[in-house]
Structure 1
Amino acid sequence: MDKLKLHSPNFIQDNIAKLAELFPNCITETLGTDGMPQKAIDFDQLRQELSDKIVEGPQERYQLNWPGKREALLTANAPIAKTLRPYREESVDFDTTQNLYIEGDNLDALKLLQETYLGKVKMIYIDPPYNTGNDFIYEDDFAEDSESYLLKSNQKDEAGNRLVTNDESNGRFHSDWLSMMYSRLKLARNLLRDDGVIFISIDDNEQANLKRLCDEIFGESNLLATITIKVRYEGKTLVEDMNFQKLIENVYFYAKSKPLVKLKKPESEYDFSKFEWYIKETGEPNIIELGGKKVEVFFDGSFEIVRGEPSNRHSAPLNKNLAFN
């Protein structure tokens, strides 16, 4: 007989789960009545998702934040009055090709692709700027000057008075980069199928920030893997004044919905050739007791490792405990 349930369904958590499918960046953590962390809705963030104006909301919460984040979200959601124009004279097999190459601002391109490819893309790979300190020009005007950053981040007031110390180590360049990536990754997620995946290359400069950013946009539970790529060899760097040579970069591998992703692992027939080496006893072992069991210990000269025909049969009796010294 089935047991009678003594409590009603938790509709709040069910509703949070449904919202998480649409807006994973609006899910945060809060402490429940039992003092344990539980999922909750970031209503300020949700209001921003559903608004065409910047929504202020200084509520304290666990999240990645930076000056310009709300503007970046507004930029991602704002429509544009642009279109893609075909270039037949520069194309190959224009009427029959299955490939599409777009030149232009990638933010505009991502927005225009929403019309045709919303929820239809199976895999995305991006290789964004690594924010190494070189100059980048962002068409969406995220590359603000120092004074604008100090005002926006409340380090200076409008009269130019310094409000906090340590402004020499400000995060302006990190903020610029995060704003640029935030709007583009949100649009990229919209393009993915429910079983779609995205790969993003990065190095040490913004690796930590990108991980937090992707956790917010795609959901922390949708991280499939962090792949390490060796991009150069030891002693082959052209920068000789580096104390440590950077040999690897990372690729973050996220799913839109992890349970729906079916990965095809490489398959090969089971090969018994790995079992072609055998232990041949050539002398008597010493018998000792270890952990309540008798163990035969073979010392040098009492065994040989020989090669034979591949087989799935073990050369030594299965009831023996063998140890070699």
Structure 2
Amino acid sequence: MLEPGHGPMMQVEHTHTRCWVCVLSCLLLACLYVGSLYVWRSSLPRDHPGLIKRRCASVLLVSALSPAVVKAWMHWADVKALSSEHYRTQQVDASVWQLMGVRLEGLVPAAVLPLLLTVVFYLGPLVHSVIDNPDGFTLQSALNVQSWMLCVGDAVWLRNQVVAPVTEELVFRGAMLPMLVPCTGPTAAIFMAPLFFGVAHFHHIVEQRRLHKDSMSVILLVSGSQFLYTTVFGAFTSFIFMRTGHVVGPVLCHSFCNSQGLPDISSALQHPQRSALLFSYLMGLLLFLLLLFTLTDPFFYGAIPVCSLATPAALAC
């Protein structure tokens, strides 16, 4: 039992050590993920099917190893829930997979509701797409097996819609957020984890310089913009993860956003039906903000395992 006079000091020292282990573990995962893309030395462009397949294999391997990194972090950081009165320790009652958001409880709402929220945000672009191409999407085309088979056979589609969302969300949300929460708390972790995600996308600078497509100033401008929107998007999916305790929601939202791209507001401003489009963009944003906390209410998803790592247990989850 700790002596009363030394308890607080020992707790501060333990927390300080834990924070360093958290940050270093996240950096390790980010470096492993990005580094795995460059294991294969090649002069091929990033969209070449051969290079895509090799890179997909690399990031899938890193994702498969991410639970081991979280497990090692739990051991070295001595992760326990501390009692504020007597500084007693208690083991976290959740498996590594549950902490990473891979669990069955509340799975269906965790897959449907965050995706619905994201679709609401894209109301403007979706209306824009329907106006410009009214025959572009039908129920028949959505259920067309041959069309889906063509997509599955497309390496670029598989990377953008399946492999990237699954691996990035598992590593940058599922693995990193549980490691950050004991150090920063749930709210700060939501905004800190995306920084690793945003910085990880700077590796595109290396590829652009290698292919000599643009000047360095253009490359830096594009990379800076990419860092901004990937960080904002990362904060959104981190919020989804912390509110639902599932990784499936962030994966599906990520895949949907990759399919839609960034909303093209400049094109809407120049459209003949500008008023209707701007109204739909505005309504999408307002409905998104209105439903943000409602559709992510933990009531739908049961107990959130990652919240048990917060010290003390936080209601923000």
User: TM-score when scaled to structure 1?
Assistant: 0.26
* Higher strand content, 1 or 2: 1
* Higher helix content, 1 or 2: 2
Larger Rg: 1
Higher relative contact order (CA 8 A, sep 6+): 2
